[in-house]
A and B are shown apart, each in its own frame.
Chain A
Amino acid sequence: MAHINWFKILIIFVFFGATASLAQSYVASSSNYILHSDSINFGGGYSTSTNYKLQDTLGEIGSGIYSSTTMIFNGGYQAMTVDTYLALTSPSNPVMSPTINGVGGGASNGSSTWNVKTDNPAGYELSVKAETAPAMISSGNSFADYTPGFSVPDYSWNTPTSESRFGFSPEGDDIVSSFLDNGVSCNTGVLDNTNACWTGFSTTNQLIAQSTVANSPIGASTTVKFRAEVGSTKAQEQGTYSANITVTAVSL
C-alpha cells in the first residue's frame, strides 16, 4: 500500500485551487488541436491499461446542463466530453406544382427546408444525394438529372426543348461557395440570389452548406428548391415520378 503524503496533496490542492480560481474556463485551439472546454476542478485523471481507459475528475463546480431559449450551458469537465451536439430537422415531403403536361412541356417546382443546429465550434457540413440515378424516376421512365452547361452550377435553369430534367438549387445561411453567385454566374461572388445556381443530383453526397462555427441554439436553415421540367418538344410519359433525396449533416 502506497503511502499517501497528505501534506503534498494539500499543497497541490491549494496550488491548483488558487490557480483555477484565477484562470477560469476558456476554449483554445491551434493548428494541431481544439480544446473544447475546460473546467474548474481538482483531482481526477486519465488512466489506461490494456483493458480500459478511465477519465475521472473530482471537485467540479457547477456541473450539469442548463439551457434557455438563447443558450445551453454544459457545466463540468466530464459532462462536456469531446463529443458535440448536432440536430437536423426532418421536413415533410415537398409539394411539387403544377402538374406537368407530358405533351407540350412545363415545369413543376417545390422546396424543402432543413435546419442544422450544432454546438460544435468547428461547425458542420450539409450534403444531399439521391437514392437513384437518375434521381426522378417512374416505372421505366425518368427525368434526366440536371446537367449544368459547365462544371459549375447553371445560374439560370435551362432545359433543352427535347429533354426533361430534374435538379435543385440550395439557398440558405451557410451555402457553399459553389452555389453562390455574382448575379450572373455561380461559383463566384457572395450573393445567394433566389432561383439561381442549379445542378442535378447524384447518388454521392454533394456539399451544399457548411459552417465553421457553432450555431446552437438557433441553428442555420438551408432550403433546397427542386425543379422538374419537360421541354416543349419532349413527350414525357404520364405518371407519378418520385425522387428520394437524402440530406446529411455532419459535425466538423
Chain B
Amino acid sequence: MKSFLLKKINNKIFWALCLLVFPVVVFGQSGTVQVDISVTCPNGSCTFAVLGCTDSTANNYNSLATVDDGTCTYSPVAVEPVRGCTDPAATNYNVNATVDNGTCRYSIPNISNFTVTKSGTGARLTWSIPSFSRFESVVIVKSAGRIPTSPTDGEVVYDSTGSATTDNDITGGVTYYYLAFIKSQDGGYSSGSLISYKRVEELEVRGCTDSKAKNYNSLATVDDGTCTYLPGNEPPITPPGGKSDSYFGGGGTQSGFIGSGPALPFERLPVVSFATSSEQKITQIPELFVFKQLGEKTKPFFEGSYLKIKGNKSFTISVDYYKLPEVLKTIGVTLYDSKNPNLSFSFLMKLNEDKTAYEATVGAMPNDGEYLVSIYLINYQDQTVKKFNGQLATVGSLGIFGVGTEKFVKQVAGPIAITGGVTAGIFDLLFASSKIASFSDVYLSLLRQLGVLMGLLGLKKKNKPWGTVYDSITKRPIDPAYVTVMANNEEIATAITDIDGRYGFSLLDGDYALKANKTHYQFPSTRLGRIINDEMYDNLYYGDIFHVLAGEVINKNIPLDPVGFDWNEFVKGKGNYFKLYTAREILRSKIIHWVYNVGLAMSIFYLVFYPSILNILISVFYLVINMVGRYWKQKHKVVTITNSVTGEPVSFAIVRIYYADLDQEVKKVVADMVGRFYLLVRPGIYYLTVDHKQPDGTYARIYKSPVIELKKGVWEGNIII
C-alpha cells in the first residue's frame, strides 16, 4: 500500500514537472500560406485577338478576325499594260513599261581617230572602233564635192568590221567627203564621223578656177579655195545631200575625241562677212546652243564663250529646233586641240527623233585640256554660213575628285607633295647619319655629295684621307666639318670631312697650317691640354705650322672642343638627354617618313592617272631612293649598347674590333649619345671590346664579346652589358 501511494505521488509529481518544464511536446505541425497572383488585361478585356483578314472586300475576309494579319488576298485587277521600251540599256528605257513595243533606241557611238592620208594615188582611211555590244560593221560612204548625209547617200567605200581601208577611186583636185557610220545589229546607224580629202597633183596648177571670181586663174587646174567674189557673184552652197531635208535621224555619240587630221570639211564653205536678217535673228537668241552633261548644270555656248565641262562624262551639244529658221537644216561642229590645231574632229548635229532639237553627243575626253569649238550654221536660203567660235575646257577627267579638287591636286598639291617626298627621301638618305646642326652644315653636306658625285664621274681627284676631325670629349668624328689649309696666312685648299670625319689634301713641299670649322665647336682644342695622343687618336693637331714634303702623307687628327657641352653635366642628367634626344629623333623620323610616303603615293597617283615620261622618271627616282636606302641601312646596320642594370644606353663608348686569330685591332668607332654605332669590316672572324667613358673622362673596358664570324662584315645584334 505504501509502495502504491509512493508510486502515485511520484506520478503526480512527474506530470506536474512535465507541464512546468517541457510544455511543448508535439508530433507534427502545419501551416498555410496564401499565394495570390494578379492577372490584368488591356482595357479590361481578356478576349484574345483573332488574327485574320479584316477587309470585307478581300477574298479571304474573316468576320471573326479582330486584328488584320496582312493576309488579305484580292482578285487580280485587270491592269492595262504599259507599252514602251523595257531594255534598261536603251536611251528611251521606260521603267514603267510592262510590254516592250519595239521602240527601244540605243546610242550608237561613232568611230574615233578617223584619219585620211595619201596612199599612192588613193586615200588611206583609218579609224578606231569603240566598244559597243551591238556592233555589226563600219559603213563608210563617199561623196565628191558635198557632204553625204546618210549611209545610203553616196558611194559605199567600206562595209566591214575592220579599222582601215584604202580608196583608190580618187580624182586629183576633187574634194571627197567621207562619212563613216557604225552599224548596229538592230540596223541602226551612228550619227557619222566626217572627214574630207583632196589629192593635189604635183603637176597641177593650184588657184581659183571659178571664172566668176575676182581672182580667177585660167591656168589653174585645181581650185585651192582662194576664190574671192564681188557681191552678188558668190557661188551657191551645196547643201549636204544636195537637198534641204537631210537625213540626220537618231541621236549619236562621238566616242573619244583625239583628233582626226587636218581635213576640216566646214572650213571649205564660204563664211559671209555680213549678217543676214536670219543670222541677226539667230545671234539675238540667248543661249542658242547649250552643253549638257548628266548630273551637271546646263551651260550656254555662244560666240567667244569659254566653257568648262567635266572630262570624265560625255557631253551633248544641243540647240532647240524651234529656235532655228526652217531653212537652217545643217549644223556642223569642229573641235580643235588648242595645243595642236592640226588635230581636229568634225561631226554633224542631227535632229533627234522627237524633232525637238539638233543634237550631237561626244564621249568622255581622255585627257584634260582646252579645245577650240566652231559651230557652223549652214543657211541654204541665204547661201551663207554663220560660224560661232568658242573654247571648251575639260577638267576632272579622272572623275575621282571634284573639278576644283582635281585641279588643285594636279597643279598644286601633287607637285608640292612629290617635291617634298623626294627632298625627304634624299634628306633621309644623305643626311640622316650626319650631324646636321645648321644650314651651313646642309650646305657643306651638299657640297660633299657633289664632290663624291664628281669623283665618281672622274671629274675630281679624290684625295687620300689625311686625318680625322673629331669631338675632343665624345671622340665622335665630326661630320661635316670644313677644313682649310693655310700657307702664309692665305687659304690655299679646303675640304669637307666625310661621314667618318676624314679629310685629305694633296700638297706641295712647304709649310702649312690647318684650320677646322664646325658650328658649335671651337678650334683649336684647349680641353686636351695639347696632348699628342688620346684614347682614340694619335698625332693630334692644335693649329701649329708644320712642314710637308712632296707626296708625304700626314695623319693629323684634329680635336675640336664642343661649345656648351659639359661631360660631367651630361653624366648627371643623361636620362633627360636620352628622353629629349629620343623624342626628337622619333619626331624627325616620323615627319621625314610621312612626307616621303605622301610624295611616293602622289607619284604613283600621277603615274597611274597622268602617265608621262616625267612622272615615270619621278617614280623611278623614288624607287632608286628606296633601294639605295635599303642598301645603306643593310651596310650600316645600327647596333646599340645598353646597360642591363639601368636599361640606359652606354654613351660615347669606344668600340674596338679585333681579328680573333691575331688579336689585332682592325677598327674602332665611338658610339653616339644613345649608344649606337655601326661596324663595317671585311668578312672574317672577330671579337670586339667596349670601353666605357667614365664620369672623370677616362675609359674603362667593360665588355669583350665572344668570337664571332661576320659573314657580311657587318656586326649584327645589340650589345647588352
Contact = CB atoms under 8 A, between A and B. Distances in A.
A120 B700 CA distance: 90
B25 interface: yes
A216 to B, nearest CB: 12
A94 interface: yes
Main DSSP-derived SS at the B contact region? mixed
A99 B38 contact: yes
Given A74-B22, A79-B22, A84 B27 contact: yes
A99 B33 CA distance: 19
B230 interface: no
Interface string B46-67: 1111000000000000000000
Contacts of A63: 17
A114 B31 contact: yes
Interface string A233-252: 11111111111111111110
B39 A100 contact: yes
Given A79-B18, A235-B46, A238-B40, A88 B29 contact: yes
A90 B26 contact: no
Nearest to B45: A103
Interface stretch (B5-13, B323-331, B408-416): B5-13
Given A65-B22, A103-B48, A108 B37 contact: yes
A235 B21 contact: no
B233 interface: no
Interface string A70-97: 0000100011010111111111111010
Given A100-B37, A103-B42, A103-B47, A86 B31 contact: no
Interface residues of A, number: 65
B41 to A, nearest CB: 4
B44 interface: yes
B38 A90 contact: no
A54 interface: yes
Contacts, number: 163
A185 B606 CA distance: 73
Given A57-B10, A79-B22, A248-B28, A243 B40 contact: no
Given A103-B47, A238-B46, A247-B31, A86 B26 contact: yes
A77 B615 CA distance: 117
Contact of A101 (B1, B21, B22, B40): B40
B40 A99 contact: yes
A252 B132 CA distance: 101
Given A79-B17, A103-B49, A251 B37 contact: no
Contacts of A96: 35-38
Contact of A240 (B3, B29, B38): B38
Nearest to B15: A78
Interface residues of B, number: 39
Contacts of B29: 86-88, 248-249
Contacts of B17: 63, 78-79
A212 B28 CA distance: 15
A88 B27 contact: no
A214 interface: no
Nearest to A82: B25
Contacts of B11: 54-56
A245 B32 contact: yes
B581 interface: no
A235 B50 CA distance: 11
A91 B28 contact: no
Contacts of B400: none
A242 B34 CA distance: 6
Contacts of B7: 45, 47, 54, 56
Contact of A238 (B3, B32, B44): B44
A244 B26 contact: no
B396 to A, nearest CB: 60
A251 B25 CA distance: 11
Interface in A141-166: 143, 166
Given A88-B29, A94-B35, A244-B34, A56 B42 contact: no
A83 B42 CA distance: 57
B46 A241 contact: no
A206 interface: no
Nearest to B36: A242
A93 B37 CA distance: 11
Contacts of B39: 99-102, 230, 236-241
Interface in A7-66: 44-45, 47, 54-58, 63-65
A247 B31 CA distance: 5
A226 interface: yes
Contact of A79 (B21, B26, B28): B21
A243 to B, nearest CB: 4
Nearest to A109: B37
Given A102-B41, A248-B28, A136 B33 contact: no
Contacts of A88: 29-31
Contacts of B44: 238
Contact of B33 (A55, A86, A237, A247): A247
A11 B238 CA distance: 169
A215 interface: no
A112 interface: yes
A226 B34 CA distance: 11
A99 B41 CA distance: 10
B36 A93 contact: yes
A228 interface: yes
Contacts of A56: 6-7, 10-11, 14
Contact of A243 (B8, B30, B34, B38): B34
Contacts of A108: 37-38
A4 to B, nearest CB: 8
B24 interface: yes
A47 B37 CA distance: 58
A233 B38 CA distance: 18
Given A96-B35, A100-B39, A246-B32, A251 B46 contact: no
Nearest to B2: A1
B545 to A, nearest CB: 102
A241 to B, nearest CB: 5
Given A94-B33, A249-B29, A58 B10 contact: yes
A166 B8 CA distance: 58
Contacts of B27: 83-84, 86, 250-251
A110 interface: yes
Contacts of B14: 55-57, 78
Contacts of A47: 4, 7
Contacts of A58: 10
B234 to A, nearest CB: 95
Contacts of B41: 101-103, 237-238
B47 A235 contact: yes
B25 A83 contact: yes
A246 B39 CA distance: 23
A51 B6 CA distance: 17
Interface string B469-497: 00000000000000000000000000000
A86 B29 CA distance: 7
B21 A65 contact: yes
A91 B21 contact: no
B33 A112 contact: yes
B30 A93 contact: no
A241 B36 contact: yes
Q: Lowest 7 A-B CB distances belong to which pairs?
A: A56-B10, A250-B28, A248-B30, A102-B41, A88-B29, A235-B48, A102-B46
Given A54-B10, A100-B39, A242-B35, 17 more contacts: A54-B7, A56-B10, A86-B29, A90-B31, A91-B33, A93-B36, A99-B39, A100-B38, A103-B42, A112-B33, A236-B39, A242-B37, A248-B28, A248-B30, A249-B28, A250-B28, A251-B28
18 contacts: A2-B3, A54-B8, A84-B25, A87-B26, A91-B33, A101-B40, A103-B48, A108-B37, A108-B38, A110-B35, A114-B31, A240-B36, A240-B38, A241-B38, A245-B32, A245-B34, A246-B32, A249-B28
